[in-house]
Amino acid sequence: MGYEELIIRSYDPQYDRTRVEDFERKCEVGPAKRVFLFTDTLGDPICRIRNSPIYKMLVAELGNQLVGVIQGSIKLVTVHKPPNDLAKVGYILGLRVSSLYRRRGIGSSLVIKLEEWFIANDVDYGYMATEKDNKASVKLFVERLSYVKFQTPTILVNPVSHRMSRISSNVELAKLKIEEAEAIYRKFMSSTEFFPIDIGNILRNKLSLGTWAAYPRGESWGGVPSSWAMLSVWNSGELFKLRLGNAPLSCLMYTKSSRLIEKLAPCVKLPCIPDFFRPFGFYFIYGVYREGPLSGKLVRTLCRFVHNMASKSKDCKVIVTEVGGSDSSRLHIPHWKSLSCPEDLWCIKALKNEKKNSLHELTKTPPTRALFVDPREV
């Protein structure tokens, strides 16, 4: 058999759409020792980056065989404190290599090619996210491609039940107008790590279901409440669906039996696991912010409100939130430990020589400030 040259080129929707869909369908997401999550992009392979300001997808071919894909997006964010500490960052996601062609350098070639596109677009830093225990991904980016560990956010996952959560009568909830939400985010969160400068575009996107604030009943939102909290909700299920695979038999049995018990004896408070074995959507909570002694309780109330909103959706099975590893808000966000990830891993790389010193400061200083997770990159 003759030598076949690896070709990496831009994604062509007319030619590649069906091929990439089939390729993605065969690829699993998640740690091999636990469960797999299969994604259904609903006929749009670039759905996860389509809402970003600038984006690109690359495909890798050997002969006529599709052997790998990768996606990237570019945006302007805060990296230290405004107004001078802004940076253009490139996010790497969706790296997939066919299981038959791994350990041939295809993954690293895709990343390097995407980095070239970043550099051509004047990007300061490239970054990616993976599970801390994903040894193959960490080895590729950290050991081979010189990425540096940057943040360890916490991913919190809460199943959606048809049971409505109780909302405290001592809490007032208010849906904010987009202009008001944008102004508050810029005032209170613009110094958080990776705060997107185009926050207004995110809030105005049709996938953003709204921004809500909570404060003690009897106080005025127009004034300055003694405690308050806010968050926004993104409907990721409109972009793509997830489906669970490779789950233990015990999990399958518990899922079915818990639903049966709930129907026959609703007074029994057995936690009911949603049906994750059929394609499902999810809501993503972003922009969580709070102030005041009662703000933790207010965050929890807002999360319960989002749960009730999700319970009315046909296919929303979980609510996902990602916050900085040092963000104490995580203590007040309802979640199931068994479904959550206590330490996601973000890695970063300076793509300009003059940015290497600031990269050292970014990665060596303990991440005490909050982290803004862009819903467009989930």
Judgement on whether residues 212 and 313 belong to the same structural domain of the protein: yes
Judgement on whether residues 197 and 310 belong to the same structural domain of the protein: yes
pLDDT of residue 361: 65
pLDDT of residue 359: 74
3-class SS of residue 261: helix
Residues 6+ apart with CB under 8 A from 62: 4, 5, 6, 7, 101
Judgement on whether residues 175 and 305 belong to the same structural domain of the protein: yes
Judgement on whether residues 31 and 97 belong to the same structural domain of the protein: yes
Judgement on whether residues 86 and 142 belong to the same structural domain of the protein: yes
pLDDT of residue 29: 54
The token pair that represents 53 in the structure block: 């300001």
Residue 249 host element (H or E): helix 249-264
**338 lies in a domain?**
no
3-class SS of residue 334: coil
**249 lies in a domain?**
yes
Q: Which of 197, 184, 275 is nearest to 230 (CA)?
A: 184
Judgement on whether residues 138 and 15 belong to the same structural domain of the protein: yes
**370 lies in a domain?**
no
Q: Which of 102, 111, 120, 4 is nearest to 54 (CA)?
A: 120
- Report the chain's C-alpha Rg in angstroms: 22
Judgement on whether residues 186 and 95 belong to the same structural domain of the protein: no
AA identity, residue 181: A
Alpha-carbon distance values, 22 to 19, 41, 172 (Å): 5, 11, 48
Judgement on whether residues 166 and 308 belong to the same structural domain of the protein: yes
User: pTM for this structure?
Assistant: 0.89
**164 lies in a domain?**
yes
Cβ-count burial of 370 within 10 angstroms (0-12 exposed, 13-18 middle, 19+ buried)?
Answer: buried
| Cβ proximity of 170 and 148 under 8 Å | no
The token pair that represents 6 in the structure block: 């690896």
Cα first-last separation, the chain? 41
Number of domains in the chain: 2
- Report the DSSP pairing between strands 316-323 and 281-291: parallel
Judgement on whether residues 265 and 352 belong to the same structural domain of the protein: no
Judgement on whether residues 316 and 167 belong to the same structural domain of the protein: yes
Domain of 300: which CATH number?
3.40.630
DSSP letter assigned to residue 193? B
pLDDT of residue 254: 43
β-pair partners for 176 = 211
3-class SS of residue 116: helix
pLDDT of residue 144: 96
Residue 351 belongs to what domain range? 4-151+343-362
d(CA 208, CA 204): 7
Judgement on whether residues 145 and 163 belong to the same structural domain of the protein: no
**337 lies in a domain?**
no
Domain of 94: which CATH number?
3.40.630.30
Q: What is the pLDDT along the chain (378 residues), one digit of tens a residue?
A: 446 899 999 999 999 999 999 898 777 655 444 445 677 888 899 999 999 999 999 999 998 899 999 999 999 999 875 556 899 999 999 999 998 898 899 999 999 999 999 999 999 999 999 988 889 999 999 999 999 998 999 999 999 988 899 999 999 999 999 999 999 999 999 988 899 999 999 999 999 999 999 999 999 998 889 999 999 999 999 999 887 765 544 444 444 444 444 444 444 344 556 677 788 999 999 999 999 999 999 999 999 999 999 999 988 999 999 999 889 999 999 999 888 888 899 999 999 887 776 776 667 656 656 789 999 998
Judgement on whether residues 74 and 28 belong to the same structural domain of the protein: yes
